[in-house]
Structure 1
Amino acid sequence: MFQFIKLFLISAGIFLIFDIFWLIFAYNNLYKNHIGHLIGDFNIIPAVLFYIIYISALTFFVIMPSIDKQSIYYVIMAGAFFGLVCYSTYDLTNLASIKNWSLTVTIIDIIWGTFVTSTTATLVYLLVEKFGGK
């Protein structure tokens, strides 16, 4: 359990740093321009719940198995696939069900989710490999 918590905290820190910079950049340059009519007031509780659930799943389904397998290839590919599945679920559901949802946002957001998830998992894996911690 301690290993999971440690990996979760490292993953959360890395993911949040990337995602904060992304959201700062993408808010005005992407989201506001393409789906600004859908944006409401920010609600912190669902955001925190998303990060807890997402990072927990990333840790459990990608990072821990990658460490067990001792495979950089696995962590890169599994992280990318996990990000692709999760972000596609959200964005394609929105594209299918929300009037005037942006195809551009869908494509860019799926690419971002695939990248940030794989990168986060890979960085955590490399940190564990370099500093031990299994």
Structure 2
Amino acid sequence: MLSNIIRFAKNIVASLLAIFVCFGVLDFMWLGVIADGWYQSEMEPLLRSQFITWPWVVFYLMYGCVVFVLAVVANRDKSLLYAGIDGALLGLASYGAYNLTAYSIIEGFTLFIMFIDWAWGTCLTSASAMAGWLGFQLVKGKSSE
């Protein structure tokens, strides 16, 4: 019984770590390198001179845990594809809610940014869900040997 609890805890830690690393690395590459110019030029009048960090941290922790529950745990006994699909659907809904709302209420939030960020969030969440699924399966596979 205790060994099952320990094994499941290891699965959770490996999965969450994979989700956070994947999400953080890919989002940093996207926001800091690939799309930085787009966001800067399109949203310049809306950006703070100094970003506030704690909302990002809260979002990453909360969103990673939600990805874990809704895309990884829900598909732990299915193939990687299911985690990716559920991750994409979660990203489609959550980034869609953010971007559609921002576009509708923030003057200067452009249609270009709405669509590019929405598409990015969908892909990012799918990739993070698959990374989490792989982390979960890696530990699961090692413990069944």
1:125 and 2:118 aligned:
no
Cα distance in 2 between the residues matched to 1:125 and 1:53? 17
- Give CA deviations for 1:94-115 in whole Å, capped at 9, x if unaligned: 0010012110000000110011
Partner residue in 1 for 2:68: 59
Specify the SS of the correspondent of 2:140: coil
Specify the SS of the correspondent of 1:133: helix
Alpha-carbon distance, 1:83 to partner: 0.6
Partner residue in 2 for 1:42: 51
Cα distance in 1 between the residues matched to 2:85 and 2:43? 30
Alpha-carbon distance, 1:127 to partner: 4.0
Alpha-carbon distance, 1:9 to partner: 1.8
Instruction: In structure 2, give the amino acid aligned to 1:36.
Output: E
Q: List gaps (5 residues or longer) in structure 1.
A: none
What is the aligned counterpart of 1:10 among 18, 33, 36?
18
- Structure scoring higher RCO (CA < 8 A, sep ≥ 6) equals 2
1:74 and 2:95 aligned:
no
Alpha-carbon distance, 1:70 to partner: 1.7
Structure-1-length-normalised TM-score: 0.89
Decide whether the 8 Å contact of 1:75 with 1:122 is kept in 2.
yes
| Percent of aligned pairs sharing the same letter | 27
What is the aligned counterpart of 2:94 among 86, 94, 111?
86
Structure-2-length-normalised TM-score: 0.83
Q: CA RMSD in A?
A: 1.6
**How many residues are matched?**
131
Structure of higher CA gyration radius: 2
